A = this chain, B = another copy of it.
Amino acid sequence: MRTSPIRVTVWNEYRHERSHEAVAHLYPEGMHATIAAGFREDLGDEVQVRTATLDEPEHGLTDAVLSETDVLTWWGHAAHDEVRDDIVQRVQDRVLEGMGLLVLHSGHYSKIFRRLMGTECGLRWREAAEREILWCVNPGHPIADGLGECFELPHVEMYGEQFQIPAPDELIFISWFEGGEVFRSGCTWTRGKGKVFYFRPGHETFPLYHDQNVRRVLANGVRWAAPASSCPYMGGGRNICEPLAPIAAPHQVDGSMH
């Protein structure tokens, strides 16, 4: 049982908010500030929240920051390619060791998500202002806590199948779109000791991170993705010469082979 706060780092590309007035209007201090404020309000003492953005040194994701992060949330869109490969590697390593990762909306195409999935993570999309209904198909899942059997978002950008991901370990939400598409909008995977949650809503030109249901899902996601086991992660190859039980046949190891 966790007795100390979950340390959350909210990462944001933070470009649209500075270049497009419509986005700045919705998120004057950046989407990361809104998301972080939501966590502080909804989760209170359960969390300690900081933010980090692309244009900070090392994208704000230094070794020190990551080593003090229990759950990282990721929003990126137009500048995925500008994220440094060595920092992507650093984030991946931390996930495998146990850091939780929430990938938001257009983060589906981020380097870190694609690397953890092993697939292209492409999808159908349409920028209109259409209605979305998210149906919960896993009502007992902690990420569904506090929600109804479905919830609506009046105007969204559409994401549709095929969503090129590995079959999720758990499927929680499926979206219906006014224009005829469906989407696996809430999916989880485990990679190493780390839990990964992808959640679809969150376009920069709609006020989705102000929506109560979206906020609830993200807060639930933080709780769910926080490390919950001290069992050791044995990541790399390990040569264990001594068996736990006796081996009958003799054997000479040819060390030159390795």
Q: Which residues of A contact B (CB under 8 A)?
A: 1, 16, 20, 22-23, 46, 78, 92, 96, 98, 109, 115-120, 122-131, 133, 135-150, 154-155, 158, 160-164, 166-167, 169-171, 174-182, 184, 189-195, 204-205, 223, 227-241, 243-251, 253-254, 256-258
Contacts and interface: CB of A to CB of B under 8 A. Distances in A.
A253 B157 CA distance: 10
A118 B95 CA distance: 11
- Protomer copies: 4
Given A92-B118, A124-B240, A160-B240, 11 more contacts: A22-B254, A116-B118, A117-B118, A130-B243, A131-B245, A140-B227, A141-B231, A142-B229, A166-B190, A167-B169, A176-B181
Nearest to A167: B169
Q: Which 7 A-B pairs have the closest CB atoms?
A: A179-B243, A180-B244, A140-B193, A129-B251, A139-B231, A144-B231, A142-B228
Contact of A20 (B154, B174, B237, B257): B257
A245 B120 contact: no
A149 B245 contact: no
B174 A247 contact: no
A99 B174 CA distance: 25
B135 A161 contact: yes
Contacts of A175: 182
A129 B96 CA distance: 32
Given A139-B231, A166-B166, A166-B191, A78 B244 contact: no
Contact of A140 (B22, B180, B204, B229): B229
Contacts of A227: 140
Nearest to A20: B257
Contact of A127 (B126, B161, B251): B251
A231 B145 contact: yes
A182 B144 contact: no
A253 to B, nearest CB: 5
A254 B231 CA distance: 37
